[in-house]
Amino acid sequence: MRVNYHLHNQYSSDGRGGTEEVCETAVELGFEEICFTNHAESLSYERGDWVLDLVEARQRFEHLQHEIERLQPRYPELRILLGGELEYRPEWVETLDALVDSVDFDLILGSVHVVDGQQISAGGSVAEYFKKRDSSDAYGRYFETVDEMLDWGSFDVVAHLDLVKRFGVKYYGPFDPYPFTSQIRGLLEKVVAKGLGLEVNTSGVVQSPAEPFPGLDILRMAREARVATVTIGTDTHVPSSFEQGWEVGMQTLQRAGFSEITLFSHRIRRNVPIAWEPEEVE
Ligand SMILES: [Zn+2]
Ligand SMILES: [Zn+2]
């Protein structure tokens, strides 16, 4: 089953590529389902930070929704979904809840890119987060923030559960999840208890740290914790890297013991075997 449930295009401040261009690329590469998961927040060059504006975000998602409705009939072999990647920041949750209520999303990803006001995955201030912390503080505080996001819970799937290792490996060497086992198991148990899912994000395969988010060890823990909802996405921001790391992500999922992957439609999920092939569309 060739699905890509994490991708950005021109409707994210940090993305490029028209909607049609992304669909063309997906079809050329033999994908059967794609979900646009653009950021709800947008980058303000004046403020040098991401800002969240309900009206602006809603309009942007609705614009893309109309494009998808227009394009879908042209691509009978490809199902095109409208998703969103919501950034958890405590001060944003009310606005995000209002957005979730007002847009007909197929899938919502929940993400942590900012911990205690500091970027952990991109931007010039990443060094500030890591320089002042040892590894247990840098990773531990990030996982605590993911835990807070799970308590909030207005989304379907946790994106890139261990994203903090992208830069963490540059400061502390290869990421070893074992010192954080009890914390990570707690997160995975909460994912299950709250009826949420986990994403395998393959952007890390081709960039730092040369493995998916999360990697094999945490995926095995997820399997043990009986996480049953699992999506895969390449987190591409330009059509040319649409497929980045996808094969490795699928192999890693299977090595961890997963045999099914989850598909979404209007936030309703169903699992299909990883090897599943959709019926021919008439
Ligand atoms: Zn993200
Ligand atoms: Zn993303």
Ligand nearest to the CA of 237: 2
Ligand nearest to the CA of 12: 2
Ligand nearest to the CA of 121: 1
Distance in Å, CA 38 to ligand 1 centroid: 9
Tokens, residue 149: 């996001």
Rounded to 10 degrees, the C-alpha dihedral 3/18/80/87 comes to: 70
Distance in Å, CA 66 to ligand 1 centroid: 24
Question: What is the SS3 assignment for 83?
Answer: strand
Taking residue 126's Cβ as centre, other Cβ atoms within 10 Å add up to 18
H/E stretch holding 6: strand 3-7
Distance in Å, CA 37 to ligand 2 centroid: 7
- Bridge partners (DSSP) of residue 85 are 39, 109
State the pairing for strand pair 107-111/79-87: parallel
Ligand nearest to the CA of 15: 2
281 Cβ partners below 8 Å, 6+ apart? 76, 77
Distance in Å, CA 160 to ligand 1 centroid: 7
Q: How far apart are CA 175 and CA 77, in angstroms?
A: 39
172 Cβ partners below 8 Å, 6+ apart? 134, 135, 138
Answer for the pair 252, 219: CB distance below 8 angstroms, yes or no.
Answer: yes
Tokens, residue 67: 């494009």
257 Cβ partners below 8 Å, 6+ apart? 220, 223
Distance in Å, CA 135 to ligand 2 centroid: 24
Distance in Å, CA 282 to ligand 2 centroid: 33
- Bridge partners (DSSP) of residue 272 are 261
pLDDT of residue 86: 98
Distance in Å, CA 167 to ligand 1 centroid: 14
HSE, side-chain direction, 13 A CA sphere, residue 127? 1
- Bridge partners (DSSP) of residue 81 are 35
Ion ligand 1 residue ranges (Cβ < 5 Å): 111
Phi, psi torsion values for 220, nearest 5 degrees = -65, -40
186 Cβ partners below 8 Å, 6+ apart? 147
Taking residue 273's Cβ as centre, other Cβ atoms within 10 Å add up to 10
Distance in Å, CA 6 to ligand 2 centroid: 6
pLDDT of residue 134: 97
Phi/psi class of residue 160: alpha, beta or left (left: φ > 0; alpha: ψ in -120 to 50)?
A: left
Ion ligand 2 residue ranges (Cβ < 5 Å): 85, 235
Question: What is the SS3 assignment for 198?
Answer: strand
Task: Tally the residues of the chain.
Answer: 282
Distance in Å, CA 233 to ligand 2 centroid: 9
DSSP H stretches of helix in the chain? 19-28, 54-71, 93-102, 126-131, 135-152, 165-172, 181-193, 203-206, 216-224, 246-255
Distance in Å, CA 234 to ligand 2 centroid: 8
Distance in Å, CA 11 to ligand 2 centroid: 12
Give the CATH superfamily of 3-273: Metal-dependent hydrolases (3.20.20.140)
Per-residue pLDDT of the chain (282 residues; tens, 9 = 90+): 999 999 999 999 889 999 999 999 999 999 999 999 999 999 988 887 899 999 999 999 999 999 999 999 999 999 999 999 999 999 999 999 999 999 999 999 999 999 999 999 987 789 999 998 999 999 999 999 999 999 999 999 999 999 999 999 999 999 999 999 999 999 999 999 999 999 999 999 999 999 999 999 999 999 999 999 999 999 999 999 999 999 999 999 999 999 999 999 999 999 999 986 666 555
pLDDT of residue 55: 98
Answer for the pair 171, 138: CB distance below 8 angstroms, yes or no.
Answer: yes
Distance in Å, CA 7 to ligand 2 centroid: 6
Indicate the pTM of the whole model: 0.96
CA distances (Å), origin 20, targets 6, 132, 248: 16, 44, 26
Distance in Å, CA 113 to ligand 1 centroid: 7
